[in-house]
Amino acid sequence: MNRILAVIPAYNEAEHIVQVIRAVLDHVPVLVVDDGSTDGTAALAASAGAEVLTQLPNQGKGAALRAGFRRALELGYDAVLTLDADGQHDPREIPKFLAAARGSADLIIGQRDFTRMPPVRRLANTLGQVLFSWALRQHVPDNQSGYRLLSRRLMETLLGNSETGFEFEVAMIATCVKKSFRLTWVPIRTIYAGESSHIDPVRHTLNFVRIAWATRRATRPSAMPPAAPVNGARWNNGAALNGRPSRR
Ligand SMILES: Nc1nc2c(ncn2[C@@H]2O[C@H](COP(=O)(O)OP(=O)(O)OP(=O)(O)O)[C@@H](O)[C@H]2O)c(=O)[nH]1
Ligand SMILES: [Mg+2]
């Protein structure tokens, strides 16, 4: 079995962090990347049994994830599981990711059911799905989910990425596809129980559109690698990723 580390980015998550860590520790060891929290999140995480990295000042979820990947690589882990600290990702679903990881995927994303989201989130995720699928020229059912498993080679590749905020997770999908790494999905529970959000809607939307536009340009036919299949890298529906894009 591969060695897997859970990386949990956390910013002012004192309310849920202990419960999340304890449940994750039933499956894999935990690294929390605390990002300048002022509510005692780091101390609570350490007391719950996690290793804690602290970033000061706050640098964003993407920067925190990359710091976690760097640490996991140093420690020799084969893969990381990322999940949110706010209780929206159920650690009891970790075995689904571990099972999917046996299939040698580089990126496994927990796919949520948008119909189970509050209306504003449902709308934002649906629009984001349409826009990013257009940009990547492939259907991407859920690009915002933070519940993921990443291979070592994908982590290594992402160390060169400079996105610091939530957009990092969107850019990660584009990187995976462009590299012809393997991407797959597992269905996960969609949990909204009044958690507070750190998303700034205007900044997030602008950054999302910027990434989508850059992705659209990067995947235009003339920018894609030659059409020869590479190690059978495939989209989860069986369409080859590394051939010419199917839609323009
Ligand atoms: N390290 C770090 N983590 C962050 C930062 N902002 C958010 N997070 C963490 O990222 C996870 C997701 O943040 P949320 O604000 O809940 O975003 P979301 O779940 O995508 O969006 P919602 O649907 O609004 O809940 C949580 O574990 C947060 O603590 C940050 O600046 N730094
Ligand atoms: Mg959340």
The count of residues in the chain is 248
Would the CB of 77 count as within 6 Å of ligand 1? Answer: no
Which ligand does the CA of 117 lie closest to? 1
Nearest CA to ligand 1 atom 21: 197
Query: Would you say residue 222 lies in a domain?
Result: no
Residue with tokens 């349409």: 130
CA dist 5 to 85, 136, 145, 177, Å? 15, 29, 18, 23
Specify the pairing of strand 51-55 against strand 30-35. parallel
Query: Would you say residue 128 lies in a domain?
Result: no
Contact indicator for 122, 114 with CB cutoff of 8 Å? yes
Q: To the nearest whole percent, how much of the chain has pLDDT over 70?
A: 90
Query: Would you say residue 131 lies in a domain?
Result: no
- Residue 63 pLDDT more than 70? yes
Contact indicator for 198, 121 with CB cutoff of 8 Å? no
Going by pLDDT thresholds of 50, 70 and 90, the confidence category of residue 196 is: confident
Query: Would you say residue 123 lies in a domain?
Result: no
Taking a 5 Å cut-off on Cβ, the residues next to ion ligand 2 are 86, 88
Would the CB of 35 count as within 6 Å of ligand 1? Answer: yes
Q: What residues make up the domain containing 99?
A: 4-117+141-198
Bridge partners (DSSP) of residue 240 are: 234
Q: What is the CATH number of the domain that holds 95?
A: 3.90.550.10
The number of folded domains in the chain is 1
Query: Would you say residue 27 lies in a domain?
Result: yes
Ligand 1 pocket, mutate which of 34, 59, 86, 204 (most atoms under 8 A from CB): 86
- Residue 221 pLDDT more than 70? yes
Query: Would you say residue 184 lies in a domain?
Result: yes
Digit-coded pLDDT (tens) for 157-185: 999 999 999 999 999 999 999 999 999 99
What's the mean pLDDT in 139-167?
96
Higher per-residue confidence, 237 vs 89 = 89
Query: Would you say residue 206 lies in a domain?
Result: no
Query: Would you say residue 127 lies in a domain?
Result: no
| Ligand 2 centroid to residue 40 C-alpha, Å | 19
Going by pLDDT thresholds of 50, 70 and 90, the confidence category of residue 245 is: very low
And the tokens for 147? 């519940």
- Residue 236 pLDDT more than 90? no
pTM: 0.89
Nearest CA to ligand 1 atom 24: 197
Q: To the nearest whole percent, how much of the chain has pLDDT over 90?
A: 81
Bridge partners (DSSP) of residue 35 are: 55
